[in-house]
Chain A
Amino acid sequence: MTHLDGRTIGSKLDLDTDVVVVGSGPAGSAVARRLSALGLLVVVIEAGQWFDPLDYPESAFESMARLYRDMSASVVLGKAPLPYVQGKMVGGSSPINGAICWRMPRDVYDEWISADPRLAETLNWDVLEAVTDEIETRLNVLPTDPAIAGPKNLLMAKGAEALGIEHRPIRRNVRNCMGMGRCIQGCPAARKQSVEATLLADALQNKTQVLSSAEVQQIIVDKGRAKGVRGRLAATHTPFEVRAKHAVVLAASAVQTPALLLHNGIKHGPVGRNFQCHPGVSMAGRFPDMVRMWEGATQGHEVIGLRHEGLKFEALGFGLGIMAGRLNGVGRALAEEVEHMPYHLDWGAAVRAEAKGRVVSFRGKPYVVYQPTPRDVHTFRRGLRVLGEMMLAAGAIEVMPGVRGVVEKTSSLADLVRLQDSGPGSATAYKAAITHMFGTCRMGSDPGTSVVGTDFQHHAVKDLFVADSSVFPTNIGVNPQIPIMAIGTLCANKIHEKMT
């Protein structure tokens, strides 16, 4: 196993390899695993550190400060400055996500193929399914065990059942989960099967090298071909260069990947455009008995019966410092709410938003410009109504929508209906956050409307590939880590095919 820790390297680093991968998240790890299994030498470069699970902090603040990009406080530019969350560590966001696993939805896949039939040349459904099966086996993806689900998840089941909406235990990539409820801060017991512990570990067994705490700044292009990357080691600013004989693969996320291309003047096609995501809203509720939301699987139950409306509901689990910030009021009212936190739950609704934004690069830093549409905001309201109804049906005394200009707390269905039908039309009234980002280097057969081809290779720069969710033509309405790994694997297959 070779891990080069950029924090400890004091002199210029030069590496030669077959393939260099920028980013060690789900896509990058999947690419490295596949290519290394096919006998190629791979170097994976990661801007963040490699953390030992024992070092994962319990405190929400400490985890935000150490494990997340920009202290988890990145915001989009727009009328509503919605935060978006990305991990910055080996494994990308997978060590600090909710471990939620979904296969690629067939209806979304069909949309993609219908819009661009040639995508099926690479994204063959049967092959995608087979790759997904193998990944899910490797990551031990299984439904959440009711024994460690905890009240917040079991009550969601109760609420959804009462409303007659399809629901189920979330399928999660964990092994022997203890229900510590610390997925978002990183599992200190190493029960989450995130990619650095699985796919990347497999790659390391096949001679892959990981260079961590290293920021890629330059893509080396010579006569129209990608030849490698250059950058600086994060702690010491010492330069490094990694030269790749066969391919440079960008897998740095739908925000960082297009920004890197733009920063390097590789502006072909709609790079940075078509930014799509899943903005989410949440509803807090107070229950008559202690529900202790920090116990049990962080996110163990989901409600999927309204996916056709672009809504997916999940139990949420935050560190208490974050949860407290979502409670109503200030001053003594807030202090009282904090004292009642053992009786509070928070559930979320992720929206398959129709809005499209843009990633731009300024002085090497990415900025996301994005604004939910009026229809997206209507879906926020619909989601909040359903969340509130489910909570009341599950036994909540009152629910708190957290929407400006609307009742602070209510136990009345009429208030929730009013929120849906005539709540604020501006996204600024809602406490929303963005998870899952896509589309900014979309793949396609038409070079005029895509950044990479159906083979994941950049239309204008040979041997330059993109493997992360930026190649997805659209958002997908469900948690994307498994589809990202599967499609990343198909990208690796294409790279290998090109060589042979």
Chain B
Amino acid sequence: MRDTLMVTILPGSPKASPEFWQEFDATSPVHLKLGFGIALLVLGHVSPLIFGHFGGLASMSEDAREHFIVRVASAPVLRDLVEIAKVVACLRAFSNTDLEDRLRGRA
């Protein structure tokens, strides 16, 4: 689910490096783990339910996920969770050197 949320926030992002989630889980402080965990639960499962998607974010089509994430990104309270998830999504995307190499013109 967390990779699904990550590519919903940043579509087209490459797979995370093999060590990313391991390192994230091992080194992130408690409040970040908690915040991200809540973001995952609410954005990945609870909010989609409210929008009628009983299988959560993973059950939605790409277009539906796009529509969903844009909508919650401006909703009170939910937008704060999106912000947390966005920071992690971007770090994850750049943990794979492909994206950085391409943007820097090194690929």
- A residues sitting closer than 8 Å to B (CB atoms) are 58-62, 64-66, 70-71, 73-75, 292, 294, 319-322, 324-325, 329-335, 338-339, 341-342, 404
Residues on the A chain within 8 Å of B31, using CB: 73, 75
**B10–A73 CB distance below 8 A:** no
**B90–A324 CB distance below 8 A:** yes
Given contacts A61-B95, A330-B70, A331-B66, whether A73 and B90 have CB atoms under 8 Å apart is no
Size of interface on B: residues with Cβ below 8 Å to A: 37
Could you count the A-B residue pairs with CB atoms below 8 Å apart for me: how many are there?
96
Q: Cα distance A61–B97 when bound, in Å?
A: 11
Could you tell me which residues of chain B, from 69 to 107, have a CB within 8 Å of some CB in chain A? Answer: 69-70, 73, 79, 82, 86-87, 89-95, 97, 99-100, 103-105
| Residue of A75, A321, A335 with highest tally of chain B CB at under 10 A | A321
Knowing that A61-B91, A294-B104, A332-B11 touch, tell me 17 more A-B residue pairs with CB under 8 angstroms: A60-B91, A61-B24, A61-B95, A62-B95, A65-B24, A65-B26, A71-B27, A73-B29, A320-B94, A320-B103, A321-B95, A330-B10, A330-B86, A331-B70, A332-B66, A335-B10, A342-B103
**A324–B93 CB distance below 8 A:** yes
Residues on the B chain within 8 Å of A64, using CB: 91
**A322–B91 CB distance below 8 A:** yes
- B residues sitting closer than 8 Å to A (CB atoms) are 8-13, 20, 23-24, 26-29, 31-32, 65-66, 69-70, 73, 79, 82, 86-87, 89-95, 97, 99-100, 103-105
Residues on the A chain within 8 Å of B9, using CB: 330-331, 334
Q: List 13 A-B contacts (CB under 8 A).
A: A59-B97, A62-B95, A71-B32, A73-B32, A292-B104, A294-B104, A320-B100, A321-B91, A322-B91, A325-B86, A330-B10, A330-B73, A332-B11
A51 to chain B, nearest CB (A): 15
**B93–A321 CB distance below 8 A:** yes
Given contacts A70-B29, A330-B86, whether A59 and B95 have CB atoms under 8 Å apart is yes
**A335–B73 CB distance below 8 A:** no
**B94–A331 CB distance below 8 A:** no
Partner of A331, one of B26, B69, B103, B104: B69
Q: Is the interface of A mostly helix, strand, loop or mixed?
A: helix
**A61–B86 CB distance below 8 A:** no
**A331–B32 CB distance below 8 A:** no
B47 to chain A, nearest CB (A): 14
7 interchain residue pairs of minimum CB distance: A321-B94, A324-B90, A70-B29, A325-B90, A61-B91, A65-B27, A325-B87
Residues on the B chain within 8 Å of A74, using CB: 29
